[in-house]
Amino acid sequence: MQSILIIGGSDAGISAALRAKEVNPQVGVTVIVADQFPNFSICGLPFYLSGEVQDWKTLAHRTADDIEKEGIQLLLEHTATAIDPVKKQVSVINMNGNMKILGYDYLILGTGAVSVEPDIEGLQLPGVFTLRWMDDSFAMNDYITNRNPKSAIIIGAGYIGMEMADALTYRGLKVTVVEYFDSVLTNVDSEFGHLVQAELEKHDVAVNIGIAVEKIEKNDSDLKVIGSKGFSASVDMILVAVGARPETKLAQAAGIGTGMKDAIKVDRRMHTNLPDIYAAGDGVETWHKILQKYTYLPLGSTAHKQGRVAGENVAGGNTEFQGTLGTQAVKIFDLVVARTGLRNQEAIGAGYDPLTVETECWDHKVYYPGAHPMKIRLTGDRRTGQLLGAQIIGHRDSEVSKRIDIFATALFHHMPVDGLYDLDLSYTPPLSSPWDPVQISAQEWLEKHA
Amino acid sequence: MQSILIIGGSDAGISAALRAKEVNPQVGVTVIVADQFPNFSICGLPFYLSGEVQDWKTLAHRTADDIEKEGIQLLLEHTATAIDPVKKQVSVINMNGNMKILGYDYLILGTGAVSVEPDIEGLQLPGVFTLRWMDDSFAMNDYITNRNPKSAIIIGAGYIGMEMADALTYRGLKVTVVEYFDSVLTNVDSEFGHLVQAELEKHDVAVNIGIAVEKIEKNDSDLKVIGSKGFSASVDMILVAVGARPETKLAQAAGIGTGMKDAIKVDRRMHTNLPDIYAAGDGVETWHKILQKYTYLPLGSTAHKQGRVAGENVAGGNTEFQGTLGTQAVKIFDLVVARTGLRNQEAIGAGYDPLTVETECWDHKVYYPGAHPMKIRLTGDRRTGQLLGAQIIGHRDSEVSKRIDIFATALFHHMPVDGLYDLDLSYTPPLSSPWDPVQISAQEWLEKHA
């Protein structure tokens, strides 16, 4: 019996384990999980911290029991300390300091990412948090429950920062966001970033952009944040949410090749440079379908796909990861912001001659109650007319996220912008128009392009 | 200057007119409109009759002024009575009986469809309505306003029947639906029809299936409907909604070829058998992208597309209608039902070896509040693994309609079912799962297929 060892029990690792057993029920699969929480939806942590998710146990995609029922062995609260690729062994240590050596025929690394700790004085002070894993969220939740903070600063206005601004406001805290760049949510265009900022402000979140945080100080019971341009504010707690970086020290020590941001280099089969060692998820470089090259783009949906590919391949299959489009969506208060593919600057960087056109239209026929305006920024290549990417912002009831998926499905097939016209999309007045907003945005792009 | 004459001022006709002027602003475009309501959204009539749309004027996609501003001449309240394809002339008559002859270089027929009048005694009685055009809805609205009916029977449980059951209930009437077939909404599988029936009944609509209506009688102030299996019920008003048929007598009289259900035969450029005469919309046969043959499938979204193709071609362009997938969505109370592509029986008829698998899953991560179950019926070909079609039923907040559009976009590109796995679809816990329901349904299909 072939034995498959997987390091990491989050999305990529568990997805790989399940797929391996599905493809070949005869293989032995063991997953080394650093904490007690295999297969937890870490994307759900903001909703636990907001209080919307009352029982953290419901955050599990599957319970440990569910996973073990598939014949997968879980080694909870064990940390892998070394990989010996020659002997095909992994050393692990448990909470009590007991060490153990595990052999493997195939190894899959799903070690994920860790929160970036920026170069700011005072990060270690009590009341200052990062958020990536279950234990982070327990620590923050305990703090909120026990200390009853009234105010928080969130450093960083990316996805997690934005979701947590919503979440902590929901929980009753007065929230201030501090962002280094000149708009929030910089993975969409600043035109949309400004709309997100307005939504935050509408919900009483204070937003400070263009501020470099320099120092956090303890100040009696308060925490004081000091930044550039004279920024200074005192609050009861702080969340540092400035991004994630691959957790690949273990891999590097074993001689596994890494690339950008130290992410593990893999081929499309999710194979590393070492024999029989695969990797997937937030710790690896990700093939980008439009760029046709590797990038670093850690996303839960991608981790699931890559894990599945790795699991299938180690179990005797032969499949390739088809690539990311960077499709993402986030709900911030009553708005949803979503994107797929390339933005203008990214397209220029990739050698295209892009044109980005913004369209505003109603999400459904305006005569039917509840219509909301939505904005679409469509990016296409002037030379070829090829669709390169799209961004949408709209009300949470406007089917924004699945509209971005229409673009994503079109992008997957390398559609030209004018091909969007030919799509037979559904129409009923309460939900769309005879030409869906997706198609209206294509029309505007073609008019500007003409 | 080339002159383009268009008969019919609804979706196909106006779409053709606008596109012709867009492609070549020099052409003269005249649209003959039988009523005073060019470019009205007849799909919106149920929402006018429900009272949700308070001002019927808002049902206009564009006002007459908007259209005329594009340089399009509207001939309102004129009916075309004859086409002379040799002299290239159309005879029209206005409300006062004045006749006029109009010449053309190119003619586009957008004469649409009319309500089917079934062979039932009593259809002409006051209080018995059909619903297709603005005047139909005014008549019904006046009746409801003036007579204050308390109850209604809807004969026919298709799209319009279902929307009107919702609409009249919303307006305060007690509604009874009578359907000839054994489930409501027969353009989706009966499994979904039964769920729609349950939704109707939950909202106090009485549903009678498998009943052939035989007669309508006037009975003092009531109207009495008598049907098979001893069905009998007395109500204050009746809507007959048993479908539409092409309005093509004018075309036939001019020697324009017609096919199934007397719909006008066109090529993919929307050209008829006669020189310089094109046709589009609910009056024509429609090319089906999966069946790769013509069918009759009158839909507003298709009429817009076909009109656009016809308009482009008569203005000097050269483009083809890419085909329908039969993509449709309808909101019935709190449910949305949508479909695209082929159902099992349709696929068998087209020579496929289909397998249809039903999946139930949550519309988003269940830990986040407001999750609703949705059901997807996915049809694929056993021999090739090709995706053939999908049907979805779910809550109106579950992004059902744009999820069917993901399938529609995949179908447009002839994706295999297992290709759905590779789509990079958006994920955030309030709106989806790492594998979107679209992909979960593909997984279930592949498991059953294995």
pLDDT tens, position by position, B362-389: 999 999 999 999 999 999 999 999 999 9
Distance from the Cα of B329 to chain A's closest Cα (Å) equals 6
Q: Is the pLDDT of residue B220 over 90?
A: no
Summarised one tens digit per residue, pLDDT across range A172-197 is: 999 999 999 999 999 999 999 999 99
- Please say whether the beta carbons of A359 and A448 come within 8 A: no
Segment A130-133 long-range contacts (CB within 8 Å, at least 24 positions apart): A130/A239, A130/A240, A130/A241, A131/A45, A131/A46, A131/A49, A131/A160, A131/A164, A131/A239, A131/A241, A132/A42, A132/A244, A133/A35, A133/A37, A133/A42
Q: Which residue of B has its CA nearest to A392?
A: B426
- Collect all residues of chain B within an 8 Å Cβ-Cβ radius of residue A413: 409, 413
A427/B43 touch (CB, cutoff 8 Å), yes or no: yes
Q: Is the pLDDT of residue A450 over 90?
A: no
Q: What is the mean pLDDT of residues B359-364?
A: 98
Distance from the Cα of B304 to chain A's closest Cα (Å) equals 7
Which of A44, A367, A402 has its CB closest to that of B368? A44
Instruction: Tell me how far the alpha carbon of residue A229 is from its chain's centroid.
Output: 31
Q: Is the pLDDT of residue A304 over 90?
A: yes
pLDDT for A1: 80
pLDDT for B99: 96
Q: Which residue of A has its CA nearest to B42?
A: A429
Which of A58, A326, A425 has its CB closest to that of B301? A425
pLDDT for A129: 98
Residue A64 CB burial class (10 angstroms; 0-12, 13-18, ≥19): middle
Which of A305, A429, A432 has its CB closest to that of B44? A429
Q: Is the pLDDT of residue A219 over 90?
A: no
B340/A426 touch (CB, cutoff 8 Å), yes or no: yes
pLDDT for A210: 98
Which of A11, A405, A431 has its CB closest to that of B329? A431
Identify the structural domains of chain B with CATH numbers, from first to last. 3-112+245-314 (3.50.50.60), 128-242 (3.50.50.60), 335-449 (3.30.390.30)
The amino acid present at B261, given as its one-letter code, is K
Q: Is the pLDDT of residue B430 over 90?
A: yes
B367/A406 touch (CB, cutoff 8 Å), yes or no: no
The span from the CA of B37 to the CA of B170, in Å, is: 26
Structure tokens at A28: 């032995």
Q: What is the mean pLDDT of residues A158-172?
A: 98
- pLDDT band, very low/low/confident/very high, at B221 (cuts 50, 70, 90): confident
- Collect all residues of chain A within an 8 Å Cβ-Cβ radius of residue B336: 428, 431
Among B348, B353, B372, B347, smallest CA distance to B361 is for: B372
- Please say whether the beta carbons of B223 and B236 come within 8 A: yes
pLDDT for B295: 97
Q: Is the pLDDT of residue A241 over 90?
A: yes
What's the CA angle centered on B259, arms B255 and B261, to 5 degrees?
Answer: 115
pLDDT for B241: 97
Among B15, B43, B424, most A C-beta atoms within 10 A, so best to mutate, is: B424
A447 CB neighbour count, 10 Å cutoff:
11
Which runs of E-coded beta strand occur in A12-60? 28-32
- pLDDT band, very low/low/confident/very high, at B307 (cuts 50, 70, 90): very high
ipTM: 0.97
Summarised one tens digit per residue, pLDDT across range B182-205 is: 999 999 999 999 999 999 999 999
Over the Cα atoms of chain B, what is R_g?
A: 23
pLDDT for B88: 98
- Collect all residues of chain B within an 8 Å Cβ-Cβ radius of residue A19: none
Q: Is the pLDDT of residue A248 over 90?
A: yes
pLDDT for A221: 82
b/e A8-32 (16+ beta carbons within 10 angstroms → b): bbbbbbbbbbbbbbbbbeebbbbbb
**Hey, CA dihedral for A192, A194, A197, A201, is it positive or negative?**
negative
Summarised one tens digit per residue, pLDDT across range A312-357 is: 999 999 999 999 999 999 999 999 999 999 999 999 999 999 999 9
Summarised one tens digit per residue, pLDDT across range B237-275 is: 999 999 999 999 999 999 999 999 999 999 999 999 999
A405/B408 touch (CB, cutoff 8 Å), yes or no: no
Summarised one tens digit per residue, pLDDT across range A81-109 is: 999 999 999 999 999 999 999 999 999 99
- Collect all residues of chain B within an 8 Å Cβ-Cβ radius of residue A435: 301, 304
- Determine how β-strand A78-84 pairs with β-strand A89-94: antiparallel
Which of B368, B404, B423 has its CB closest to that of A426? B404
- Determine how β-strand A213-219 pairs with β-strand A222-227: antiparallel
Among A165, A133, A143, A162, smallest CA distance to A152 is for: A165
A308/B425 touch (CB, cutoff 8 Å), yes or no: no
**Hey, CA dihedral for B67, B72, B77, B82, is it positive or negative?**
negative
B429/A61 touch (CB, cutoff 8 Å), yes or no: no
- Please say whether the beta carbons of B228 and B120 come within 8 A: no
B429/A41 touch (CB, cutoff 8 Å), yes or no: yes
Which of A322, A328, A399 has its CB closest to that of B402? A399
- Collect all residues of chain B within an 8 Å Cβ-Cβ radius of residue A423: 405, 408-409, 412
Which of B327, B396, B421 has its CB closest to that of A425? B327
DSSP letters spanning B265-277: P--TT-B-SSTTE
Q: Is the pLDDT of residue B219 over 90?
A: no
A403/B403 touch (CB, cutoff 8 Å), yes or no: no
User: pTM of this prediction?
Assistant: 0.97
- Collect all residues of chain B within an 8 Å Cβ-Cβ radius of residue A302: 424
